[in-house]
Amino acid sequence: MKYASDIEKKVVDDLLSVIFKHPSNISLTVSDGEEMVISQPTREIDLIKSELCQTECNVLKLWAPVPSSPEVLRKVGSYVLIWGNDCDLISDSSMSDLIDEIDSQLKDFSGDC
C-alpha cells in the first residue's frame, strides 16, 4: 500500500482486523479491477496489503467455509475500495447480514473516520 494515504492505511487495517476477527473464519481474494491478483483465498495480511493500491481500485471478495463441509469455501460478500477517497475508501459492498455485521463493527472500530 505504498501509495495509500495514512487515512486509507488505517481504514484497511481496521477493515482487515474486523474481518479476520469474525468467527466465520473468513479469507479473502483480491482483484485490482482488471485481474485477480490474489486468486486463492488467504488470511495472510501482509500478502493482501502488498497487492492493494497498485491500481485505482480493488475488490476484496470474502470467503467462508461451508458449515457442513469446512474444506469447501463459499463467497459470502465483497468490498470495493477506491483509492484516493481517504475515509470514503470503501465505496461499495455487497448486501448481506454478514457485511452488515462487519460494517457495524467497523464503524465502532474506526472512530472518527
Residue 110 has pLDDT above 60, yes or no: no
Q: Could you give the CA distance from residue 93 to residue 75 in angstroms, rounded to a whole number?
A: 13
| Residue-level pLDDT at 32 | 95
H helix or E strand, kind and range, residue 48: helix 45-51
43-92 pLDDT, tens digit each: 999 999 999 999 999 999 999 999 999 899 999 999 999 999 998 999 99
Collect all residues with Cβ–Cβ distance below 8 Å to 44 and sequence separation of at least 6: none
Going by pLDDT thresholds of 50, 70 and 90, the confidence category of residue 21 is very high
| Residue-level pLDDT at 97 | 92
CA-closest candidate to residue 50, choices 12, 85, 82, 22: 12
Model confidence, pTM: 0.92
Buried b (16+ CB within 10 A) or exposed e, 23-59: eeebbbbbbbeeeebbeebeeeeeebbebbbeeebbe
Domain boundary assignment for the chain: 6-110
Cα 4 versus chain centre, distance: 15
Are the C-beta atoms of residues 2 and 53 closer than 8 Å to each other?
yes
Percent of the chain clearing pLDDT 90 (strictly above): 85
